[in-house]
Amino acid sequence: MVIDGHRFGVIVIEGESYTEDVIVFPDRVVPDWRRKEEHVLALGDLEAALEAKPEVLIVGTGTQELLAISRAVVAHTQKEGIELLAFDTRTACRTFNELVDSRRVVAALHVTC
């Protein structure tokens, strides 16, 4: 799985454009990913991502990095030994592409603000 590019409101993965937030696995995309609170990432929002037992969880916090990561997410990833990386979404996409062939990585990406 390769993330081809990102700009505000659009992410292109394997040639397909998505205009809503997504979770990207090495072999598939979960489109239209929603959170209970728009700009807060809670542990329950990551159920599918965490079921995949990633070594690395990348969070794209948006173009302006407005998606906040809850303490529960930080605590859970630390407890489970999951490396949590949070960046603006453009950097998160680049990091996913760099790691996808060498580590079990999942990316949860906010494509707007």
Write the single-letter amino acid at 95.
T
Beta bridge partners of 106: 57
pLDDT (0 to 100) of residue 95: 98
Domain ranges of the chain: 3-109
% of residues, the chain, pLDDT over 70 = 100
pLDDT (0 to 100) of residue 88: 98
Q: What is the pLDDT of residues 63-91, one digit of tens each?
A: 999 999 999 999 999 999 999 999 999 99
Beta bridge partners of 109: 22, 60
Q: What is the pLDDT of residues 41-55, one digit of tens each?
A: 999 999 999 999 999
- CATH of the domain spanning 3-109, picked from 3.40.1230.10, 3.20.20.70, 3.30.360.10, 3.40.50.300: 3.40.1230.10
Nearest to 109 by CA among 63, 74, 71: 63
